[in-house]
Amino acid sequence: MPPSSLRVVYAFAREMHPKTSEVFIQYGTAGFRTKANLLEHVVYRMGLLAVIRSRVKNGRTIGIMITASHNLEPDNGVKLIDPDGEMLEQSWEEIATRLANVSDNDLESTTEQIIKEVNADMALKASVFIGMDTRYTSPRLAAAAVHGVIALKGTPKEFGIVTTPILHYCVRCRNDNTYGTPTEEGYYEKIVGAFKNIREKLPVGGEYTTTLYVDGANGVGGKKLNIIKKSLGDELDLVLYNLGGNGGKLNLNCGADFVKVSQQAPVGVEHKPWQRVASLDGDGDRIVYYYLDDKEKMHLLDGDRIATLLASYITQLLSACGAQLRLGLVQTAYANGASTQYITQQLKVPVTCVKTGVKHLHHAAQAYDIGVYFEANGHGTVLYSENAKNTIKKIAEEGEVEQRKSAGLLLQYIEMTNETVGDALSDLFLVETALCARGQGARQWMQAYTDLPCRQLKVTVQDRNAISTTDAERVCTSPEGLQTRIEELVSGYSSGRAFVRPSGTEDVVRVYAEADTQQSADKLSAEVAQAVFDLAGGVGSRPELPA
């Protein structure tokens, strides 16, 4: 593409999407995320970058998702989706950051530099899929993305309001038609169709009931479940709350993140004792479960619990069909120590611990024949290698009668899984299938192991880069003396564990602690926070130890 044809890049920026803020913005695990009014020029430029990325990938389709996920309504964000439905390749995060922050006057020359750097053939066709969440700012931002795609002569296709995982799925299908049909309807046919097929083969019994309450976080996930609900028949009775009406605000006092962090039931949900409730997040890529007991105490079934349930059920099916495959589970340091112990000692499943961030978990899960990964916040999925799929398919066709039956169930379970990214809707169906197969309600699921009490705190510091870590963020390497102090503090508590890590987005240090009682976990976290404050340049008031 000759330089003269790049002039439209500047023209679109100047006339329609000018950079009006000097606030520096960085591409992270979740893409760009900030107040929506600071994002229009950024999203326009991501339209440009998506076209360049598509051409580097020989014209394969790239995705742009407009969402701020579990953040509150005034925020918004944008992230790019690579051809296989995965997160943007990490080496391109710096390119995205550079393009987002240059002045309008330098935009044309920077775009030209990037095209040369990545050796993009600008004569190739380029395809970009665009989706958005339910925020009132999303349509305007989606329009900016479209203009960015058009400015570099790419072809945009708008999907309107979809969950983030549906767009990931559609991008994957567009580039690999063996995975499915690249439409929202194709997604339902694959995921929901597999759920209905598998549930027809599973009798409902034991403590399991087909009624499931769902907190939709006043976002897109609840709206899509409302569409799906009609096709489920007697297999699953969804009772939906927080669908965005009656003045409910997106993610405000509801949704997966609120439930996980506050350890409180969301507003807007009517509860019965022991009734299973699933809470989605605003863009439908996270899910946690909980129930209230007869004293209205909340019992949380988070990402760790979901991971152990799915790994346990898949292990059961693998054993029944005789498949010799390596299944592993991937966690972060935030996973409760009791879950790790249960997985390794009871399930006899290997565990890999990685740095916080879905891209790290996803890549580590690919090392196994079957890799289960979840963050404690409820974001995760299961990945199956081609070897695993072929092995199970062969058993389903050629094995003994009982082996064929179990392999057939596992093939439907694979079909029900959105392997591209964590998906609240797909994960919901995976959980409900595992519980039904075992005749378990939420209480029986909870009884698999007992979580260690834990506490998370954050300490404001002058510069978060003063903190460095290693060993999947479990060991602090700087400032000098901090790790030694943490180890001294931990040694004073039964079942004690603690780590610190710098935030990826703000000048705070996150502190996590576990111990045998809640009082001890609270005290240990406060003592570690105080050590961080003293040794890493704390700002403001010192952390207070609990009385």
What six digits make up the tokens of 103? 């002045």
Answer whether residue 3 shows pLDDT above 60: no
Q: Does 481 appear as a known binding residue?
A: no
Mean pLDDT of the chain: 95
Q: Does 505 appear as a known binding residue?
A: yes
Q: Once rounded to an integer, what is the mean pLDDT over residues 355-361?
A: 90
Q: Once rounded to an integer, what is the mean pLDDT over residues 90-114?
A: 97
Q: Does 281 appear as a known binding residue?
A: yes
Answer whether residue 508 shows pLDDT above 90: no
What six digits make up the tokens of 476? 């602090």
Q: SS3 of 305, please?
A: helix
Q: What is the pLDDT of residue 505?
A: 64
Residues recognised as catalytic:
69
Enumerate residues 6+ apart whose C-beta is below 8 A from 91: none
Please say whether the beta carbons of 212 and 236 come within 8 A: yes
State the Cα angle at 526 between 523 and 527, rounded to 5°.
85
Say what angle helices 138-151 and 7-15 make with each other, to 10 degrees: 160
| Number of Cβ atoms within 10 Å of the Cβ of 20 | 11
Name the E strands within 103-165.
Answer: 127-132, 155-161
Please say whether the beta carbons of 66 and 157 come within 8 A: no
Q: What is the pLDDT of residues 277-335, one digit of tens each?
A: 999 999 999 999 999 999 999 999 999 999 999 999 999 999 999 999 999 999 999 99
Answer whether residue 273 shows pLDDT above 90: yes
Q: Does 283 appear as a known binding residue?
A: yes
Q: What is the pLDDT of residue 211?
A: 97
d(CA 243, CA 214) in angstroms, rounded, equals 10
| Dihedral, CA of residue 204, residue 207, residue 208 and residue 213, to nearest 10 | 150
Q: Does 285 appear as a known binding residue?
A: yes
Q: Which residue matches tokens 């102090």? A: 485
State the Cα angle at 366 between 339 and 176, rounded to 5°.
130
CATH entry 3.40.120.10 includes domain 303-424+439-446: yes
Q: Once rounded to an integer, what is the mean pLDDT over residues 522-542?
A: 92
Please say whether the beta carbons of 456 and 339 come within 8 A: no
Strands 298-301 and 327-332, sheet pairing: unpaired
In CATH terms, are 3-161 and 188-300 the same topology?
A: yes
Answer whether residue 274 shows pLDDT above 90: yes
Q: Does 438 appear as a known binding residue?
A: no
Percent of the chain surpassing pLDDT 70: 99
The kind and range of the H/E element at 176 are none
- Position 465 confidence tier, pLDDT thresholds 50, 70, 90: confident
Answer whether residue 192 shows pLDDT above 80: yes
Distances (CA, A) of 82 to 199, 254, 367: 33, 31, 20
Q: What is the pLDDT of residues 435-463, one digit of tens each?
A: 999 999 999 999 999 999 999 899 999 98
Enumerate residues 6+ apart whose C-beta is below 8 A from 166: 131, 159, 184, 187, 224, 284
d(CA 265, CA 268) in angstroms, rounded, equals 9
* Homologous superfamily, domain 188-300: Alpha-D-Glucose-1,6-Bisphosphate, subunit A, domain 3 (3.40.120.10)
| Number of helices followed by number of strands (H, E) in the chain | 18, 19
Dihedral sign computed on CA atoms, order 222, 237, 191, 444: positive
d(CA 543, CA 393) in angstroms, rounded, equals 56
Answer whether residue 407 shows pLDDT above 50: yes
Q: What is the pLDDT of residue 9?
A: 93
State the Cα angle at 340 between 464 and 478, rounded to 5°.
25
Give the start-to-end residue ranges of the domains of the chain: 3-161, 188-300, 303-424+439-446, 454-535
- CATH fold, domain 3-161, is Alpha-D-Glucose-1,6-Bisphosphate; Chain A, domain 3 (3.40.120)
Q: What is the pLDDT of residue 541?
A: 79
Q: Does 69 appear as a known binding residue?
A: yes
Answer whether residue 426 shows pLDDT above 50: yes
Within 13 Å and on the Cβ side, how many CA atoms surround 10?
14
Please say whether the beta carbons of 476 and 468 come within 8 A: yes
Please say whether the beta carbons of 320 and 396 come within 8 A: no
Phi, psi of 359 (to 5 degrees): -60, -35
Give the CATH number of domain 454-535: 3.30.310.50
Q: What is the pLDDT of residues 203-256, one digit of tens each?
A: 999 999 999 999 999 999 999 999 999 999 899 999 999 999 778 999 999 999
What's the N-to-C CA distance of the chain in angstroms? 67
The single-letter code of the amino acid at 396 is A
Q: Does 504 appear as a known binding residue?
A: yes
Chain mean position to CA 188: 20
Global pTM reads 0.94
State the Cα angle at 435 between 433 and 441, rounded to 5°.
145
Please say whether the beta carbons of 368 and 327 come within 8 A: yes
